[in-house]
Amino acid sequence: MHEAHWKAAEHHELAAQAHRTAAEHNEKGDRTAADWHSERALEYSDHAYKLAREAHNKSGEIESL
């Protein structure tokens, strides 16, 4: 169970790193790289949300037993 939460947290961290990288490229005026990293950040964030929701649902199932 804890592994599911760790995977969600890992993807949240990947999303945060991609957001930071996008911001750095944006500040340098590299719009192409900023957009690419922003898209990656969104993908990681969406996946993190799904993993977190699944982990939460599984936690609830265990507690209800």
Enter the DSSP assignment of 27.
H
Map residue 65 onto helix, strand or coil.
Answer: coil
CA angle 51, 55, 13 (to 5 degrees): 45
- Residue 41: its pLDDT value, please? 97
pTM assigned to the model: 0.80
CA angle 35, 19, 42 (to 5 degrees): 70
Residues 30-59: tens digit of each pLDDT: 999 999 999 999 999 999 999 999 988 887
Question: Closest by alpha carbon to 60, among 17, 7, 12, 1?
Answer: 1
Q: What span, in angstroms and rounded, lies between the C-alpha atoms of 48 and 54? A: 10
